[in-house]
Amino acid sequence: MALFHRYRPFVLGDSLSAAKQYDKAYFDKWYRHPRHRVKSAAELTRQAAFVLGTAEFVLGRPVRTVLDVGCGEGQWRAVLRKQRPSLHYDGVDPSEYAVARYGARRGLHLGGIESLDTLPLREQYDLVVCCGMLNYLDAPTLRHGLAQVARRTGGMAYLELFTREDHFEGDTNWPAPRAARWYREVIQRAGLTAVGMQCYVTHASRDRVSALERNEASV
């Protein structure tokens, strides 16, 4: 059973006017409260270790740069840098509170998945993370946002998405999931090739993995 962890009750592609909802009380409840938090420190550490290791297997070297889209307060940064202290991290989030409080120290930028092309980011990153937020996007926002994610992916992207074929629990206050085939086609049209376990490489980098490691849809 897939477990959907609640990170955002709003669509990240929406107007930043919704960002005022992501205040200190919001993060205290969903990230730190022992009863309400969506993910423990141990769970986040395991997830980040898997994603980092997979990206480095694809790259054939240590990950040096990470872009975290929908990063919240930038929790992934500390976990990743514990394993790779020299890693460069950029986070993007619509929370004015999070960016004002942690932006300078943690490399957070105010924005959403649709604004990547307008932000002062690197041209490409070894690893791009979109965790706990893509299911909240409507179809046009998802298509537009994933195209921008693909352009920033220099190694691997981790795109956490659940489909109507999945069995999941947790927050489901988002549009009804579509069929897996629909998501595969949208992701492939954005320029990304699936390599399993929510991980993707760009079409230009598809030869970094073998044919049996790729899960390509017919579009």
Residue 18 is predicted with a pLDDT of 45
Question: Rounded to two decimals, what is the model's pTM?
Answer: 0.85
Residue 28 is predicted with a pLDDT of 58
Residue 23 is predicted with a pLDDT of 65
Specify the long-range contacts of residues 163-167, CB closer than 8 Å, at least 24 apart.
Answer: 166/2, 167/1, 167/2
Q: Residue 180 burial by CB count (10 A; 0-12/13-18/19+): exposed, middle or buried?
A: middle
Distance CA 3, CA 39 (A): 10
Residue 132 is predicted with a pLDDT of 84
- Which run of H or of E encompasses 147? helix 139-152
Question: pLDDT (tens digit, 0 to 9) for every residue of the chain, 219 residues total?
Answer: 344 443 443 333 443 444 447 767 766 566 766 765 566 788 899 999 999 999 999 999 999 999 999 998 899 999 999 999 999 999 999 899 999 999 999 999 999 999 999 999 999 999 999 998 898 899 999 999 999 999 999 999 999 998 888 766 554 556 677 899 999 999 999 999 999 999 999 998 988 888 888 876 544
Distance CA 111, CA 81 (A): 23
At the topology level of CATH, where does 2-213 sit?
Rossmann fold (3.40.50)
Cβ–Cβ under 8 Å, residues 158 and 56:
no
Distance CA 91, CA 75 (A): 10
Instruction: Tell me the residue ranges of DSSP E strands in the chain.
Output: 2-4, 65-69, 88-93, 108-110, 125-130, 153-159, 168-170, 192-196, 199-202
Residue 114 CB partners (closer than 8 Å, separation 6+): 13, 141, 144, 145, 148
Residue 8 is predicted with a pLDDT of 42
**The two structure tokens encoding residue 65:** 């740069």
Distance CA 148, CA 145 (A): 5
Distance CA 134, CA 141 (A): 9
Domain ranges of the chain: 2-213
